[in-house]
Structure 1
Amino acid sequence: MYDEKILERAIGALKTGDLQTRRAATDALGSMGETATMPLIRAMQEGDNDVRWYAARALVRIGRPAAEPLIRAMHEETNKDFRRYAMAALAEMKDEAVEPLIRELVDGQEELRPYIAMALCTIGEPAVKPLTGVINHPDPKIQTCAALILWKMGEPGAKPLTDALKEER
């Protein structure tokens, strides 16, 4: 567990520091792990796009423990810039974010699907198998989303999509 003052100072440096200070704060916050997740998400919600970018980088370093809280924050925060930076962070987490993203695609808010779809599409190969598992979902909208994401991936998703659709018949 990190001292609360150290965490606050690092968040402050992320918001107001020069380039070198912000980069160092990003590294420090990322190495703090899950402890820094919610303060980083709040910084993304309250800050400008520069702050969002640095906070997103730190969240990527945290990885899997930050994925679900970041998705939950996307439910609450309607700011499109926040959602875009959150989506980019999730995409950069790669396979660590696939499971929570698939869960959100299936059970989450419809208005978040474009962000979730873009993150999964950007992740590519690690998302293919979980997406092909969603092709036969009872909700036709979910089926269509999964198929479109696989198609949009290009080569990594095209053959698995074709194979999944053949099996469906």
Structure 2
Amino acid sequence: MKMEISRDIKALADPDRNIRIKAVKSLSASGQPAVEPLIRAMEREGSKDFRWYAAVTLARIGQPAIEPLITALKGTQDTEFRRYASAALGHMGGEAVDPLLLAMKSADPSLRGFLSAALCRIGPAAIERLKEAYASHDPDLRECASLTLWGMGEPGVIGMMQALEREEEEP
């Protein structure tokens, strides 16, 4: 399986789109064993096309890729890597919300923007947890939650207003 994963990762850079799509499907089917090799390749490879196909693959793998992607995001300052990794997390949906919020607590300010972008991409599935984070006594988390809700547009702003109303009702 290791050899197939390595071969398929190399195929993500193939000029033939059909070969790249076939590699995405194969790597996605491999699941968790493909996660770390994909992330390492994504860190090394500077090509935006390669990173895009790797991010799509990681998003399709889903839950097993969440924590490794967050760890990789914390370990690099590479803006392009962060952009594609956070996009992958954003396409994973609701299962990525709690790990993203947890990461936001300890993240450096530049990383928080990428984590926020992932939560915005998740959309309505993240609003309830963001409202809870907005009610937090942690000023950094509260600020991140408010900016993320604001960045979601109308649904997020409504969520923020609901959180404010709830806060005003509490003694």
TM-score by length of 2: 0.92
CA deviations over 1:118-161 (Å, ceiling 9, x no partner): 11112110000110111122222221211121122122222221
CA deviations over 1:21-53 (Å, ceiling 9, x no partner): 111001100111111001110111111111101
What displacement does 1:92 show?
1.0
What displacement does 1:11 show?
1.1
Structure 2 counterpart of 1:154 = 153
Which residue identity does 1:163 align to in structure 2? Q
Taking the TM superposition and a 5 Å limit, the aligned residue runs for 1:17-166 are 17-47=15-45, 48-166=47-165
Q: Percent identity of the aligned residues? A: 43
Which residue identity does 2:166 align to in structure 1? E
| CA contact 2:105–2:140 (8 Å) conserved in 1 | no
- CA distance in 2 between counterparts of 1:145 and 1:5 reads 42
Which residue identity does 2:21 align to in structure 1? R
- CA distance in 1 between counterparts of 2:28 and 2:106 reads 29
TM-score by length of 1: 0.93
Equivalent position SS for 2:126: helix
- CA distance in 2 between counterparts of 1:20 and 1:126 reads 33
What displacement does 1:18 show?
1.8
In structure 2, the gaps of 5 or more residues are none
Q: 1:14 aligns with which of 8, 12, 23?
A: 12
Equivalent residues, number? 167
In structure 1, the gaps of 5 or more residues are none
Which residue identity does 1:145 align to in structure 2? C
Show structure 1 runs of 4+ deviating over 6 A: none
Equivalent position SS for 1:77: coil
Which residue identity does 1:12 align to in structure 2? K
Stretch moving more, 120-129 or 16-25: 16-25
Which residue identity does 1:100 align to in structure 2? P
RMSD: 1.3
| CA contact 2:56–2:88 (8 Å) conserved in 1 | yes
